[in-house]
Amino acid sequence: MPEPGAQLWAKDLPLDAVIHRFTVGEDPELDLQLLPWDCLGSAAHARMLAEAGLLPGSEARLLVDGLRRILNLAGQGAFHILPEQEDGHTAIEAELTRMLGETGKRIHLGRSRNDQVILALRLLMRDAALRLGLRAAQLADAFLAFAEAHRDEPMPGYTHLRRAMPSSWGQWGQAFAEGLLEELQALPEVFRRLDKCPLGAAAGFGVPLPLQRERVADLLAFAGVQRSPVDVINSRGRHELALLGWLASLAGVVEKALWDLSLYSMEEFGFVKVPDAFTTGSSIMPQKRNPDVVELARGKCSEIRGWAGLLRELATGLPSNYHRDFQLQKKPLLAGLRAGEELLEVLNRLVPVLQVDAEASRRASTPELHAAHKALRLAAQGLPFREAYRAVAEELKAGTFAPDPVEAEATHTGGTANLGLEACRAELAEARAWVDRTKARLDSARDAVWDGGLP
Catalytic-residue membership of 412: no
| 123 half-sphere exposure, CB direction, 13 A CA radius | 27
Question: ∠ CA 105-108-110 to the nearest 5 degrees?
Answer: 135
Closest CA to 207 of 234, 229, 235: 229
Question: Residue 196 carries which DSSP code?
Answer: E
Residue 129 burial by CB count (10 A; 0-12/13-18/19+): exposed, middle or buried? buried
Closest CA to 26 of 81, 74, 89: 81
Query: How much helix, strand and coil, in percent to the nearest 5, is found in the chain?
Result: 65, 5, 30
| 112 half-sphere exposure, CB direction, 13 A CA radius | 16
Residue ranges in 286-410 assigned as alpha helix (H): 292-315, 330-350, 358-364, 371-380, 385-398
Q: What is the largest CA-CA distance in the chain?
A: 94
Catalytic-residue membership of 42: no
Helix (H, G, I), strand (E, B), or coil: what is residue 10? coil
Q: Are 449 and 220 in contact (CB under 8 A)?
A: yes
Under 8 Å CB-to-CB from 442, ≥6 apart: which residues? Answer: 126, 127, 130, 221
Q: Are 100 and 66 in contact (CB under 8 A)?
A: yes
Cα separation, 23 vs 83, whole angstroms: 11
Distance of CA 145 to the CA centre of its chain: 23
Cα separation, 11 vs 32, whole angstroms: 26
Residue 384 burial by CB count (10 A; 0-12/13-18/19+): exposed, middle or buried? exposed
Under 8 Å CB-to-CB from 150, ≥6 apart: which residues? Answer: 168, 169, 170, 173, 356, 358
Angle between helices 113-149 and 421-451 (to 10 degrees): 150
Which entry of 282, 302, 320, 444 is annotated as an active-site residue? 282
Indicate which residues carry an active-site annotation: 160, 282
